[in-house]
Amino acid sequence: MLVFDVSDFSQNASKVFDAALTDDVIINNKDGKSYRILPFTKDAGTGKSPLEEVPCITADITTQEIVELIRENRAGI
């Protein structure tokens, strides 16, 4: 992982973008916020779902039961 502050990024933007092709790149802002640079892939923005090729399963569970399970898990029950 490569970490840059805003001024380093501003001075070396093209190098930072090149580095993002092969490594995780984080930009730290002066106010403490951090941003991750991700390269734009050819499939991005094409409307194709990244889950398109994930096979479906048949399950005997309702949407409400799934929601309840998630809420219980988040509540630490």
CB 6 within 8 A of CB 23: no
pLDDT digits (tens), the chain, 77 positions:
999 999 999 998 999 999 998 999 999 999 999 999 988 766 666 667 778 888 888 889 999 999 999 999 998 76
Map out the domains of the chain with their CATH numbers.
1-39 (3.40.1620.10)
Distance CA 20, CA 27 (A): 11
Q: SS3 for 30-47, per residue?
A: CCCCEEEECCCCCCCCCC
